[in-house]
Structure 1
């Protein structure tokens, strides 16, 4: 049996070419047969052609957000492991990614060992995170709501049920770390 028969097919959907090249080299060295797409549309087309066992997709590809497309990838590849990578990690996007069908969620820059562990289901980055403080959770929620409202503090304050000045004070105080 040839060595390629043992390879697991992996599709990387990533628009940053330099980062994609690094990941493709690292994952190929680990025995994955890697394919690359630099747009969500090209990734979905390639996924339907290849039926990869693994999909690694960046959350922000050009001006597109890949979160809504995870549902299509999951429908197309029900048995595949889908891992979302992002440079904009938050609790809200992690929850949305998992709800849409991703198996895991990792923040960039990603360590090769952590990515492989996520792909192989050995350790979930989402479930293995350290305990997050309530202040940090609140901060993440405020940031996500503010982003949804295009930075409009008044609308965000109304949605969160707090006074605009209270929200402004909270925005000035960023929580220290994941545990504090």
Structure 2
């Protein structure tokens, strides 16, 4: 009996054993969506992508996938709508939510709508696969290389800055931060 020591190979083996490898990835952030789609395809999933809720709902209606990775907040709606539609169409589907707005209330809403897990963006492809393949009532192991607290803070600031149309004053106001402090943070490279 061969023992698989490479975690990537272990995940690929687990995916290869699946009868249905179809996966819907819905995210409006094109670079992130494309990177994650490629990573999931290399691990063995058959990935289709949707840029928004409406497109995802049409794909779910036409051919409901076995797995789904959904962004929580999109320009044309909320990812919870797509998760609910997927579970109405295919009760055995396993969906996880990704979001840059991590808090307890949205996590509870995601689980109530049928998601099996809830991950903060940007999520590592291996963490996504582990969450999708986790056995019911058994949490996946913690990530091997989680983001540092500094990186999480930096990602949050960047997200708010983008949502405010790259307006430094508005971003500083919303983050309750001094404008010059925010400018110094934005001028630095992302922490590891």
So what's the TM-score if we normalise by structure 1?
0.63
Matching residue of 1:99: 112
Aligned residues of 1:56 and 1:82 also touching (Cα < 8 A): yes
1:6-57 CA-partner distances (Å, limit 9, x unpaired): 7611001111111110001100000001000111111011112222110111
- CA drift at 1:114: 0.8
So what's the TM-score if we normalise by structure 2?
0.59
Matching residue of 1:137: none
Superposition map of 1:4-153 within 5 A: 8-122=21-135, 124=139
Aligned residues of 2:53 and 2:81 also touching (Cα < 8 A): no
Aligned residues of 2:23 and 2:68 also touching (Cα < 8 A): yes
Unaligned runs of 5+ in 2: 1-15, 144-175, 178-192
1:74-96 CA-partner distances (Å, limit 9, x unpaired): 11121110110000010110011
Aligned residues of 1:117 and 1:124 also touching (Cα < 8 A): no
How big is the alpha-carbon RMSD for the aligned residues of Structure 1 and Structure 2?
2.7
Cα distance in 2 between the residues matched to 1:128 and 1:74: 27
Cα distance in 2 between the residues matched to 1:7 and 1:96: 27
- Match of 2:24, SS? strand
Cα distance in 2 between the residues matched to 1:45 and 1:6: 23
1:64-110 CA-partner distances (Å, limit 9, x unpaired): 22224422221112111011000001011001110111111110010
